[in-house]
Structure 1
Amino acid sequence: MQKSSVRWDDFRVFLAVARRTRLREAARGLDLDPATVGRRIAALEEALDARLFDKGPRGYVLTEAGQGLIAFAQTMEAQADEAARRAGGVPERLSGVVRLGAPDGVSHYLLIDACDMLSRENPDLRVECVSLPRSSVLSRREADLAISVSPPTAGRLTVRKIADFDLRLYVRDDILAARPPVERLSDLSDLRGIGYISDMVFERELDYYALLGRQNEPSLTSNSLITQRRFCQAGAGLCILPDFVARDHPELVAVLPDEIRLTRSFYMIRHQDDARVARINRVSDAIVERMQLALSNGLP
């Protein structure tokens, strides 16, 4: 029996499943139903006489043959996007889905304006912002882009430094005002510490209290920065927070701001294979630009 021919649209479906790993999520971005996506993948595998995915608990995982097809399919995608742009004769509007993984504090304080701008300027683009704190989600194709405080050391990934940011030790203003002047950290030893759950610190750069000699080691902990901030606002104790978080909450004041200051960096991480995908490039650039502006205190 003669095998069916392969069309560009088949590779579009293939890329959607490779990026989303689950038929339902891929189908949503393609505006198809999951059963149709499954049939299209099966037809492509038959046409190429190769198994492209293994199905497991984590969804559809690329086989060796599928990995070998990614770069070719992405080249076709970039060429199709460019052809559509030239044929239209107008600046390219983005379409499809881009999923961005970021820690909750970044999503809450630094990404809202960028994502809103991208959506307004590109009505056919869907930006998915997911609280995925580890850059390893990229290797599992759970996101197209990831923001992290530590660059990965392995994998076919591209790393771009976004900007530095400072953190300080914060407490609610009325608590500090009711105490004698604070000259050293030990003056606050009676206050509880607030921080990350020690065995759930997903980046070693977030283990702040180790750098303070474990003074005021946290007794109230959460893997969510937003929850830590809420503890601090409630007057529960001391908390190390990024300045870009605390500046939105004037009731939080820095303790010994010149002596206790930590500097960290944000990085934009993405798949090397996606270097020619226009929508991912544009979303990445917009996110980086807006984060740099916000972290320089220049956000309007």
Structure 2
Amino acid sequence: MDLDWDDLRIFLAVARGESLSAAGRVLKRDPATVGRRVSRLEEVVGAPLFARSPQGYGLTDAGQRLLAHAEEAEQAVTRGAEALAGTTGGLSGQVRIGAPDGCANFLLPQVCAQIAAEHPEIELQIVALPRVINLSKREADLAIAVSPPATGRLTVQKITDYHLHLVAARLYLKEHGPVETLADLEGRPIVGYIPDMIFDKELDYLSEIGADRVTLGSNSVSVQLGMLREGGGLGIAHDFALPFARNLRKVLTDEVSLTRSFYLVRHAGDARIERMSRVADMLMSGLKAEVARLEGLT
């Protein structure tokens, strides 16, 4: 059985996008053309690769088996292209990095700017989403996570610990009185995540301060920080974000001190792609240094 790489590339796009239209946008092809190519590939392999439904295209058992081989072919093509490009010491090509918005807003811009300055031909894209990045659908090439995934053919490396504390705006504390004990939190407005939109258990901070409700909520760390800066109440904030919000002050630092971790997640097979491995190494060292630098400013 001869499989054409272009057909496999189309198969991967449909598998990841779960629809012909999504695959067409990625491939810059008409969805009808994508559908015909999928049907042709199914004829070649002699089995349906997708289960069609109003919800989209889901992989059949045969499709699941082909997926792993198609991804291996994709990685081989990428490695071959890099080998033909030669080894100049510089990096080129596109790398998409997915991250929760706290990391994406306050850490990754500095780190990625430094990588780009050292490697002008690289194209780095930051995808900031208030949810877990789906690597299997290639929403990103590399992902930053706050807890290591338990499933999937993935490589997971711990990057660094980071710290969080209870904070409030100085003007809020001046107008509403100091917070000197946990009992002083009773009746105070709390800023935090919308409870039913917390996408990782590590982000559930309410139990840390004994709060049972959020007065001002958002699924975005940046929006929460804005609410706190405007005197909306008290809330948990990343130490590395506080240099960007100079009017916020830590309170109850002995009673409320949280430690969490960042992890770098990528497809296991991508470890053999030099560009991905080098960018991953630079991301890890850069993020670790940037967390230490910003936390040191607080």
TM-score (norm 1): 0.80
**Are 1:110 and 2:107 an aligned pair?**
yes
Q: Which residue of 140, 143, 147 corresponds with 2:144?
A: 147
In the other structure, the counterpart of 1:86 is 83
Q: Does 1:267 align with 2:263?
A: yes
Tell me if 1:38 matches 2:18. no
Counterpart in the other structure of 1:65 = 62
Q: Distance in 1 between matches of 2:158 and 2:280?
A: 12
Flag the 1:128–1:180 CA change in 2: closer, same or farther, 3 A.
closer
- Judged with a 3 Å threshold, the aligned counterparts in structure 2 of structure 1 residues 298 and 95 are, in CA distance, closer, same or farther, namely same
In structure 2, what residue type is equivalent to 1:11?
L
Which residue, out of 192, 201, 204, partners 2:201?
204
Name the CA shift for 1:140/1:73 in 2 (closer, same or farther; >3 Å).
Answer: closer
Pairwise CA distance, 1:58: 5.4
Q: Which amino acid aligns with 2:247?
A: E
Give the C-alpha shift of residue 104 in structure 1. Answer: 2.0
1:237 to partner: Cα distance: 0.6
| 1:172–1:233 CA contact under 8 A, matched in 2 | yes
Q: Which residue of 1 aligns with 2:217?
A: 221
Q: 1:74 aligns with which of 57, 71, 75?
A: 71
Q: Equivalences for 1:1-300 in 2 at 5 Å?
A: 5-56=2-53, 59-91=56-88, 93-95=91-93, 99-115=96-112, 121=119, 125=123, 127=125, 129-134=127-132, 137-138=134-135, 142-177=139-174, 182-214=179-211, 217-272=213-268, 274-277=270-273, 280-297=276-293
**Number of equivalent positions:** 293
In structure 2, what residue type is equivalent to 1:244? Answer: F
Distance 1:160 1:8, change over 3 A: same
Q: Measure, in 2, the Cα distance between the counterparts of 1:16 and 1:259.
A: 50
* Matched position secondary structure for 1:39: helix
| Letter paired with 1:205 | E
TM-score (norm 2): 0.81
Asked if the contact 1:74/1:276 (under 8 Å) is kept, the reply is no
**Secondary structure in 1 aligned to 2:131?**
coil
The one-letter code sitting in structure 2 at the alignment partner of 1:287 is L
Distance 1:35 1:287, change over 3 A: farther
Q: CA deviation at 1:251?
A: 0.6
Per the alignment, in what secondary structure is the counterpart of residue 129 of structure 1? strand
Using the alignment, how far apart are the partners of 2:27 and 2:279 within structure 1?
Answer: 19
The Cα shift of 1:181 comes to 5.7
Aligned residues of 1:99 and 1:130 also touching (Cα < 8 A)? no
Letter in 1 for 2:292: S
Q: CA offsets, 1:180-199, max 9 Å, x none?
A: 66432323445311112223
Query: Structure 2 CA distance, aligned partners of 1:13 and 1:125?
Result: 23
Structure 1 unmatched ranges of 5 or more = none
Return the letter of the residue paired with 2:215: S
Give the secondary structure class of the aligned counterpart of 1:247: helix
Q: 1:162 to 1:201 in 2, by over 3 A?
A: same
Q: Alignment RMSD, CA only?
A: 3.3
CA distance in 2, matches of 1:66, 1:126: 31
Worse-matched range after superposition: 234-243 or 252-261: 252-261
Distance of 1:285 and 1:26 partners within structure 2: 30
More off after superposition, 170-179 vs 203-212: 170-179
CA deviation vs aligned residue, 1:220-270 (integer Å, no higher than 9, x gap): 222222221111111111011111112211111111224321001112233
Mapped to 1, the partners of 2:19 and 2:138 lie a distance apart of 10
Give the SS at the match of 2:215.
strand
* Cα offset, 1:204, TM superposition: 1.9
SS, match of residue 296 in structure 1:
helix
2-side partners of 1:278 and 1:22: how far apart?
A: 31
5+ unaligned residues in a row in structure 2: which ranges?
none
